[in-house]
Amino acid sequence: MTDLDRQTIERAQAGDQAASREIIQKLHRPIIATIYRFLGSRFRSEVEDIAQDIFLKVFRSIERFDPDRGVKFSTWVYTFVRNHCFDIIKRKRLRTTSLSVTRDAEEGQIEVPDERAALPGKRMQNTELGEKIEEALAGLGEDQRMAFVLREYEGLDYASIAEVMGVSEGTVKSRLHRAKEALRTRLEPYMRTGA
């Protein structure tokens, strides 16, 4: 993703409305796409509200962004996306977790059974493969899923993903490898049939 120019960011930091609009205009599509693919279609009706909340958080903190630190502005914004999405998952888990949780041995994370699996008819997906991709993504650990979405759908480089996730590039690559292996296994039947 091409980053916003420094002048625009500095104007937005100074409270310039036009610059703020420019930032929203430039980033809203990838942010909404990331939220949608990370959280899944069950959040479809809330995705724009979630994106709006993220922008509010970004602009509340925009004065703290330091261009001289060497981190791209869009990468910095993605840290808000990641944290906000993880918070939503956490809150959702607090509401829905039951004794049926299963442990992801590799990541040490608790995964909540995806309620969408029981409601296939209510999904709003374009294709059968799309539905299966969403199901497969939902079965990944959160860190793997976020890394996969940022890399494969939003095209972030490893260094940027590492910055967003707060881990090393090696860890990002490791998570991506695991994510792709898991997805390949789950989606292989649909790939064979050509979906």
Give the residues lining the site for other proteins (CB under 8 A). Answer: 15, 17, 20-21, 24-25, 28-29, 32-33, 36-37, 44, 47-48, 51-52, 55-56, 59-60, 93-94, 97, 101, 108-110, 124-127, 129-130, 133-134, 152-153, 169-174, 176-178, 180-181, 183-184, 187, 191, 195
Closest to other proteins by CB, 55 vs 78, is 55
What are 161's two structure tokens?
A: 């993903």
Closest to other proteins by CB, 2 vs 25, is 25
* 25-54 exposure pattern, b = at least 16 Cβ within 10 A, e = fewer: ebbeebbbebbbbbbbbbbeeebeebbeeb
DSSP sequence for 14-25: TT-HHHHHHHHH
Task: Give least dist CB 58 to other proteins, A.
Answer: 9
Amino acid, res. 170: G
Closest to other proteins by CB, 68 vs 122, is 122
